[in-house]
Structure 1
């Protein structure tokens, strides 16, 4: 499996799991502070893990190419969490 295929599989799965986690937290009627904390953890851990794995390789070219993708993944995760929270609030 190439790195491109891995990211093409990982990023949509990451975004779906964020949306699922937000909706599940609202469905369980968790307090807003708990939902916010879990959303931060869901959004933050995978990109940080990817960045750490990239830095562990020590390959400067690989880090330069794929760290931008990991940071974009983080931004997309924040957007997905905000949009899901907004939409879930309107639908319930």
Structure 2
């Protein structure tokens, strides 16, 4: 699987799961601290997992190609979680 194919598959799935998790936490009536904690975990775990796996391979070329993707996933995930929570607050 090429980097581009994995990017097109992995990142949208990651963002959809974050949005689903934020909305599910709100529907369950979790307090804001619990929703924030779960959103942080949802945003952090996949990029950190990718970075740990990359550094475990010790392949410099692979690390150079995937590190910006993992950091971008973190930024996009945080933005998606915030936008979803903001929108869900306004709608419900």
Question: What's the TM-score, normalizing by structure 2?
Answer: 0.95
Q: Does 1:70 align with 2:66?
A: no
Provide the residue aligned with 1:43 in structure 2.
Answer: 43
Provide the residue aligned with 2:59 in structure 1.
Answer: 59
**Structure 1 segments of 4 or more deviating over 3 A?**
none
Q: Does 1:2 align with 2:2?
A: yes
Question: What's the TM-score, normalizing by structure 1?
Answer: 0.95
Determine the C-alpha separation between the residues in 2 that align with 1:8 and 1:73.
12
Provide the residue aligned with 2:89 in structure 1.
Answer: 89
Q: Residue by residue, what CA displacement relative to the aligned partner does 1:13-57 show, whole Å, maximum 9, x if unpaired?
A: 000000000001111111001000000000000000000111111
* Equivalences, count: 92
Say what the alpha-carbon RMSD is for the aligned residues: 0.8
